[in-house]
């Protein structure tokens, strides 16, 4: 990302963020818990501080100010929805250290790409529960490896239960923000995600205040919409290509016509934060289409920041994450998806200072 934002412009823009949020479209309403300003969404919990998709990551996110927590959904062999960033789990669990599962290592083609490792769909839930979570980016976040091996793989039901317990603890509604991962692939494998997600939403009586469903694949969101659950839907948008198994490209989906089409089934779009940097008009175009905008993924390390916000040359040192939040808050985003919800909440709290 080569665009460099002048720092003083970020400070000026930050002062306008509260009024910008107030002017956001009605689609921005939802599980906000009455909080003013952009929503803070804990990406896989608080992935910057704990191994992702663990109870401690989600708990840390909420205790540091997150409004929503994000579980990525993949199925087990016995069709239970568990939370992992990918169905291939060699990078997020200690499965490679389990000799009893050595024979499960295989190669599968997922969304047109050959992937080698261990896959959730080859394990029952009981088997997955014998594994323990590890830090996915140990070379970037070595400090998080101290927590390796301490927590089990969670089910989506367990995340819902945790969100409710944390809501009670903190006196505010914490929403879950599940993403259907590789839905076309799992549909072809006989393990469709949507029916089980719909069943759990109904079983738990989740409302628009409790749950927002996201996916990169429009067909998955349309299937959820057809169930008439009353939940807001979030169309995630990539930076290149298009959703797997769909004819449209992300570039086409981000045109005014594409955004109007998204608005026929979803209330949010979730573009990469780089897609919102001027001269892009995506943010204004989405708001004009009645869509709220949540940008992803905000991280604090230099390597994930625009050049203007880096400090020093070490890629894993923290840069000026607050300046980046200030810029996007000032532009008028309705939510940020972040590995560091504590930093995002602090940046948001400073808007009125």
Q: What are phi and psi of 299, to 5 degrees?
A: -135, 165
Domain that holds residue 147: 7-86+142-352
Instruction: Tell me the per-residue pLDDT of 159-176, one tens digit each, with 9 for 90 and over.
Output: 999 999 999 999 999 999
The pLDDT of residue 302: 98
Q: Assess if residue 291 is contained within a domain.
A: yes
Looking at residue 248, what DSSP letter applies?
S
196 pLDDT more than 80: yes
Q: Assess if residue 94 is contained within a domain.
A: no
Q: How does 323-352 read in b/e, with b if 16+ C-beta sit within 10 Å?
A: bbbbbbbbbbbbbbbbbbbbbbbbbbeebe
As for how many domains the chain has, the answer is 1
Average pLDDT over residues 171-195: 98
Say if CB 178 and CB 197 are below 8 A apart.
yes
Looking at residue 277, what DSSP letter applies?
S
The pLDDT of residue 352: 62
The pLDDT of residue 351: 83
Residue 203 belongs to domain with CATH number: 3.20.20.190
Say if CB 199 and CB 155 are below 8 A apart.
no
Structure tokens at 340: 């560091």
Q: How far apart are CA 197 and CA 180, in angstroms?
A: 9
Q: Assess if residue 248 is contained within a domain.
A: yes
3-state secondary structure of 111: coil
The pLDDT of residue 294: 98
Q: Assess if residue 339 is contained within a domain.
A: yes
Q: Assess if residue 52 is contained within a domain.
A: yes
Q: Assess if residue 18 is contained within a domain.
A: yes
Q: Assess if residue 318 is contained within a domain.
A: yes
Average pLDDT over residues 113-118: 98
Instruction: Tell me the per-residue pLDDT of 14-72, one tens digit each, with 9 for 90 and over.
Output: 333 333 333 333 333 344 444 468 999 999 999 999 999 999 999 999 999 999 999 99
What pTM did the predictor assign?
0.91
Q: How far apart are CA 80 and CA 83, in angstroms?
A: 10
The pLDDT of residue 42: 98
Mean pLDDT of the chain: 91
Q: Assess if residue 251 is contained within a domain.
A: yes
């Amino acid at each position: 990302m080569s665009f460099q934002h002048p720092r003083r412009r970020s400070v000026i823009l930050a002062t306008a963020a509260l009024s910008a949020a107030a002017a956001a479209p009605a689609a921005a309403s939802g599980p906000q818990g009455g909080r003013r300003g952009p929503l803070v969404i804990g990406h896989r919990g608080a992935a910057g501080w704990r191994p992702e998709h663990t109870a401690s990551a989600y708990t840390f996110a909420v205790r540091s100010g997150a409004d929503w927590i994000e579980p990525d959904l993949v199925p087990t062999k016995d069709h239970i929805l568990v939370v992992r960033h990918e169905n291939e789990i060699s990078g997020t669990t200690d499965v490679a250290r389990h000799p009893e599962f050595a024979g499960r290592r295989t190669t599968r083609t997922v969304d047109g790409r050959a992937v080698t490792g261990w896959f959730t769909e080859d394990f029952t839930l009981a088997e997955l529960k014998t594994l323990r979570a590890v830090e996915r980016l140990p070379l970037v976040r070595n400090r998080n490896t101290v927590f390796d091996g301490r927590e089990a793989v969670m089910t989506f039901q367990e995340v819902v239960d945790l969100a409710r317990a944390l809501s009670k603890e903190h006196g505010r509604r914490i929403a879950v923000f599940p993403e259907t991962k590789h839905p076309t692939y799992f549909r072809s494998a006989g393990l469709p995600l949507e029916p089980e997600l719909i069943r759990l939403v109904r079983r738990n009586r989740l409302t628009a205040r409790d749950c927002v469903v996201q996916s990169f694949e429009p067909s998955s969101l349309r299937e959820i919409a057809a169930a008439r659950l009353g939940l807001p839907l979030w169309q995630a948008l990539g930076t290149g290509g298009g959703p797997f198994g769909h004819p449209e490209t992300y570039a086409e989906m981000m045109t005014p016509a594409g955004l109007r089409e998204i608005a026929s089934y979803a209330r949010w779009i979730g573009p990469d934060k780089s897609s919102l940097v001027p001269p892009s008009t995506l943010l204004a175009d989405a708001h004009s289409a009645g869509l709220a905008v949540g940008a992803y993924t905000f991280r604090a390390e230099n390597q994930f920041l625009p050049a203007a916000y880096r400090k020093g040359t070490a890629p894993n040192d923290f840069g000026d994450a607050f300046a980046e939040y200030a810029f996007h808050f000032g532009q008028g985003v309705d939510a940020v998806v972040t590995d560091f919800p504590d930093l995002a909440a602090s940046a948001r709290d400073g808007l009125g200072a």
